[in-house]
Structure formats: structure tokens, C-alpha cells
Amino acid sequence: MKSLIELVVTVAVAVALAFLIQAFIVKPYRIPSGSMEPTLSIGQRILANRVIEHPSVGDIVVFHPPAGADPQPAACGVSDEGGDNERACDVPTREESSQTFIKRVVAGPGDVISIVNGHVIRNGVREKDSYTYQCGDAQGCNYRTSIKIPPGDYFMMGDNRGESDDSRFWGPVPDKWIIGVAFFTYWPPDRIGLL
């Protein structure tokens, strides 16, 4: 009887630790779309570190976008911005969406950006983006009028620039809506490794 009680307690502690780790430290996610190709493919699985202070430019993050990402087409927080082929959305809607997105941070608080042929020009310097697919003729490939990222916000874009629904259309993401930074991919087996 004593060994049965020990087994039950051991299993209960293991399950509790697993739930705590997932809730507060590391959480798995599945890539639902091709917006992060070629870096992450549809169905690939990643782990996100939930213990972060602030993400850095270049980090792949898991987050809740502004509610403007919910409708199709996406809605910018200021009705005359975003989607006009001159200026990316720089004011998100105020509400947080319940969706979970995975994108790359391309600009942080205070950065000034424009987008030329799908490439981010951040503070006057073109990003080093060998990890991206060409943007092509898709909407959002060129927003030549610069915008400034507000304090505490981050501008997100998918690596598949011509096929990504991202901050260009619904605006920057407040720091408090960022869930974690992706750091490891564990499925499929041939893609296992650090990000």
C-alpha cells in the first residue's frame, strides 16, 4: 500500500510540474500557416520561452495580435492608415485578439521603419533578411512612408513577406500581449534544432 501511495504522489507531482512549466516557463506551439516560411513550415512544432523581459529585433515570437487582425481584410486602429500602399499601420486597434500568431520582430520601441520590396528599412538601414521569401507584387510589399514604433510596442512580420498577415496591416503589438520567444523546433525530426 505504501508503494502505491508513493507512485500516486510521484505521478501527481510530475503532472503538476509539467502543467507549471507549460503555464509559466516553456510552451509548445504548432505552426498553422505558411507565413513564416522558409524558416518555419506548416505543421512544424516549436517551443516558446515564456520567461522573457522584452524580445529583440530578429526574435521569432508568439503573441496575441490587436483585434484588428481578426476581420478580413485586417483593420488598422486609424481608419485611413494601413493598406494604402504608402504607409504601414502604426496604430493598432485597442483590443487584444484571442488568436495566437507567430511572427518575427522587425522593429522595436522608438524604431523608425519603412518597407521597400518587402524589406524593412529600420532607422535608415536595410535589415539583413536572407531568411525571407521575396515579397513579389503582393499588397504590403511597399510602404515607403516611414512610421515610428510607439514606446512599448513591437512591429511583427512573417518571413514569407508576400503571404503574411502581420503588423503592416493591423499595427504594432504591445509588449504585454507577447507570450514568448520561440527558441527550439522539435517536429518534424529532420527540423529539430535551435531557432
Q: Which residues are catalytic?
A: 35, 103
Q: How far apart are CA 165 and CA 109, in angstroms?
A: 21
Q: CB–CB of 143/18 below 8 Å? A: no
What are the distances in angstroms from CA 109 to CA 63, 83, 90, 148, 150? Answer: 16, 22, 12, 8, 6
Instruction: State the cell numbers at 149.
Output: 514604433
